[in-house]
Structure 1
Amino acid sequence: MSRRAAPPAPPLHEALPELRPGQSVALLQELHILTREGRLNQDTRRKLKQVYHLFQLIEPLLREQAEGGHAPVLADHGAGKSYLGFILYDLFFRPLGRGSIYGIETRAELVERSAALAERLGFGGMHFLHMSAAESADASGLPERIDMVTALHACDTATDDAIAFALRKRARALALVPCCQAEVAACLRQHKALQLARTPLAELWRHPLHTREIGSQLTNVLRCLYLEAQGYQVTVTELVGWEHSLKNELILARHTGQRKRSAQQRLEALLDEFGLRAALGHRFGVAPAAEGVAEPTTAAEPR
């Protein structure tokens, strides 16, 4: 008695409804979201959910850049293995049929690996540069105008370098997920005894753990005010749930051209309140206090 042949396996996109139509299976395997056998386990399902969540937050900004047949140009700072860049290219740029992504990374081996992967996948609009975010603003290998700037978990001041790059390139949108900010915390720590003597607000960063947390929070608040002062509409949201990552603050900025004077004033007031103007004012386009004029150590009364 002859046995019936087993029915052919359904296409992977049908077998795994989590995948989007046309999504590159090879890329998902390279990113270790899919196993080599094309399967998802509990951990990789969660990872794929995070990928889609990130894309859903960024996609509306990309759509705006692509209006009128424009070919959007995106720069991804601190690209690492270019996880974000590859996902954005696969889900948006490749179906769109135009536009390009520039991955900027300081580790040469990751740049070479990403370039090789893009070539294998046929992602011709992806380019990779071996340099820092600070160096990229004047680099010859980048277009004069960049439409969107991303920085996913760019460490410490690299996020600020990405913002400076975006302003230099007149970027129309930014998506930033800051990471491990230490600069402001170091400044708070240095003058902690003096501040404790002058204002009860210094109790907010009296203990080392609080110093780090307040420093991180204050850094991102200053960044948002700076972007608003430079003509961007800013939204702050969670990238993923707290159970997945503690570094999940996503700052989305869209250029409107309407510079907020109130944001500039509050930015300067915060720098003065926390005694940061001399050390960090240059990073936010704020001039140091005039010679002989002490920086205030208490908040100004609301007008």
Structure 2
Amino acid sequence: MPTEPLGAALDRVRAMLLDPERLVRAVAAGRRRGHTVPWRRAELRYVDLKTGRALQVTTYDEAQAHTRNSAVGSDAAGAVDELLELPFGNWHVDTLDEVVQLRVTKKGEAQVHTKPREAGSDAEVAVRREHDRAKPRLLPVDDPVLRAVGIADHRGQIKPSRQSKYRQVDEFLRILEPAVDDAVETGRVPRPTPTRPLRVVDLGCGNAYLTFAAVSYLATVRGFPLQMVGVDVRPQARQRNTELAASLGWDRQLTFVQSSIEAATVPDPPDVVLSLHACDTATDEALARAVRWEAPVILAAPCCHHDIQTQLSQAEVPDPYAMITRHGILRERFADVLTDALRASILRQHGYRVEAIQFVGSEHTPRNVLLRAIRTGAVSGSNVAEEYATMVEQWGVRPALASMLET
């Protein structure tokens, strides 16, 4: 995709953000290479207050959301300029006329994709200006799949004990949505058609509540022709999930196979590979399969990290870091960070752009890191391999993913 100067592209985004009649919603997320941002995400929309229309900016840190309303005019312009000055890596802007996606490249230039609103879209509904309305969920609470997987009750209400699961489903879909859209718009994945559907594989799917949620969102909400396969080693998981897919009428677009991740076969190389909370080196097996498939999009939320943790307990720790590994709980948390950092580096060396992002809030689960990898095919710089080699040598560890990709 061609690039253009970032300043000019952001000026166009600014004009759209400051149009209180046409803006539906805008989202800023990610960060530019070599920079940090104070928020993991910022959302903008206009609301009607008693005092008049205002730009509502909601920013999300690691723990909570912060909302600020700025009156249309100079106050709103100031709020927009503050956000545009931050080194966000991506902007997604919906207006009544068009959808604009801006991504900042490694060189600090802008890749911009613009498409017109589809006829009959729900933009007019989405632009409602009510203040303090409930946050829209990508899957409504009465979606049949939520009842099927036990998150909602028979009345279509989220069960009190499953609120965190519902939140996890929503956050996962909010990560999946832009990843798929970007892959399609940039041509990394062909635009889904009945003869060439979007191909998704979930490795280590377990009870598959996120698998089912992905099918409902991608196929029903978004209308993508879809071919999805769930893989799990347990025969009872395959039987349960297959019966559930049939009860939802999805047995043609969603299939389940009983297999180890390493031995799993799928009809066609996937466009998107998911691995959500696969234990320990099962995540590495999933990443290795995805790399061998050259999957354009990988979303992996690791679970436990016993492999590197065990190696750290047996290795000679470099000075002065023994104070970290001396205590079991600190060694465990450091192993989590080190494992995922090494995984990200290995993926970069195999032609992927990688981000480690928060999946859900830590109040819902401590396993809340997700690796989002987009295949670019670009050769990583020598510094990436050098940093990786230095890290594994100093800590005396051997990542399972590295061993798997050497075979």
When normalised by structure 1's length, the TM-score is: 0.79
Q: Give 3-state SS (helix, strand or coil) of 2:255's partner.
A: strand
Q: How does 1:257-276 map to 2 (within 5 A)?
A: 257-261=377-381, 262-276=383-397
| 2:287 and 2:401 in contact (8 A); partners too | no
Instruction: Please say which of residues 273-282 and 210-219 is displaced more in the overlay.
Output: 273-282
**CA–CA distance in structure 1, aligned partners of residues 350 and 398 of structure 2:** 18
Task: Tell me which of 247, 253, 262 is aligned to 2:367.
Answer: 247
1:222 aligned partner: 342
Deviation of residue 143 (structure 1)? Answer: 2.7
Which amino acid counterpart does residue 122 of structure 1 have in structure 2?
Answer: G
Name the CA distance, whole Å, in 2 between partners of 1:106 and 1:212: 27
User: Residue 173 of structure 1: CA displacement?
Assistant: 0.7
**Equivalent in 117, 130, 133 of residue 244 of structure 2:** 117
- Once the two structures are superposed, residues 133-168 of structure 1 have per-residue CA deviations (whole angstroms, 9 ceiling, x without a partner) of 1222xx3xx134111111110000001000110011
Q: Which residue is 2:274 aligned to?
A: 150
The reply on whether 1:73 has 2:199 as its aligned counterpart is: yes
Deviation at 1:68, TM superposition (A): 3.1
- Evaluate the alpha carbon distance shift between residue 279 and residue 199 of structure 1 in structure 2; reply closer, same or farther with a 3 A threshold: farther
The offset of 1:67, in angstroms, is 4.7
Change (3 A) 1:222 1:172: same
Distance in 1, Cα, partners of 2:401 & 2:166:
38
- Are 2:181 and 1:57 aligned? no
Pick from 285, 302, 324: which aligns with 1:204? 324
Any conservation in 2 of the 1:62–1:72 contact (CA below 8 Å)?
A: no
Larger helix fraction of residues: 1
Higher strand share: 2
Q: Shift in Å at residue 276 of structure 1? A: 1.6
Partner of 2:262: 134
Counterpart of 1:68 in structure 2: which amino acid? R
Show CA shifts across 1:232-256 (max 9, x none).
Answer: 1111111111111100001101011
CA distance in 2, matches of 1:156, 1:84: 19
Paired residue for 1:89, among 195, 207, 215?
215
- Structure 2 counterpart of 1:29: 147
| C-alpha RMSD of matched pairs (Å) | 2.5
Please identify, of 257-266 and 114-123, the stretch whose mean Cα deviation from structure 2 is larger. 257-266
Question: Offset at 1:278?
Answer: 9.2
CA shift in 2, pair 1:107/1:237, >3 Å: same
- Between 1:165-174 and 1:42-51, the stretch displaced more is 42-51
Cα distance per residue 1:169-195 (max 9 Å; x no partner):
11001001001110011111112xx43
Aligned equivalents of 1:285, 1:265: Cα separation in 2: 18
SS of match in other structure, 2:151: coil
TM-score normalised by the chain length of structure 2 = 0.60
* Unaligned residue ranges in structure 2 (runs of 5+): 1-133
- How many Å separate the matches in 2 of 1:71 and 1:202? 52
| Residues 129, 234 of structure 1: alpha-carbon distance in 2 compared, 3 angstrom cutoff | same
Q: Compute the displacement of 1:22 (Å).
A: 8.0
- Deviation for aligned residue 1:79: 0.3
Query: CA 1:279–1:73 in structure 2 vs 1: closer, same or farther (change >3 Å)?
Result: closer
Q: Per-residue deviation at 1:92?
A: 0.8
User: 1-side partners of 2:355 and 2:280: how far apart?
Assistant: 20
- Cα gap change, 1:92 to 1:285, in 2 (>3 Å): same
Q: CA deviation at 1:48?
A: 2.3
Shift of 1:130: 0.3
> Alignment identity in percent?
27
- Any idea what the Cα deviations from partners look like across 1:99-158, whole Å, max 9, x if unmatched? 21110001111111101111111112101110111222xx3xx13411111111000000
Q: Which runs of 5+ in 1 are unaligned?
A: 1-15, 287-303
Secondary structure of 2:387's aligned partner: helix
- 1:279, distance to aligned residue in structure 2 (A): 7.9
After TM superposition, the structure 1 = structure 2 runs for residues 34-45 of structure 1, keeping only pairs within 5 Å, are 34-45=152-163
Corresponding residue of 1:10: none
Cα distance in structure 1, aligned partners of 2:146 and 2:391:
44
1:238 aligns with 2:358: yes
User: Cα gap change, 1:246/1:25 in structure 2, threshold over 3 Å: closer, same or farther?
Assistant: same
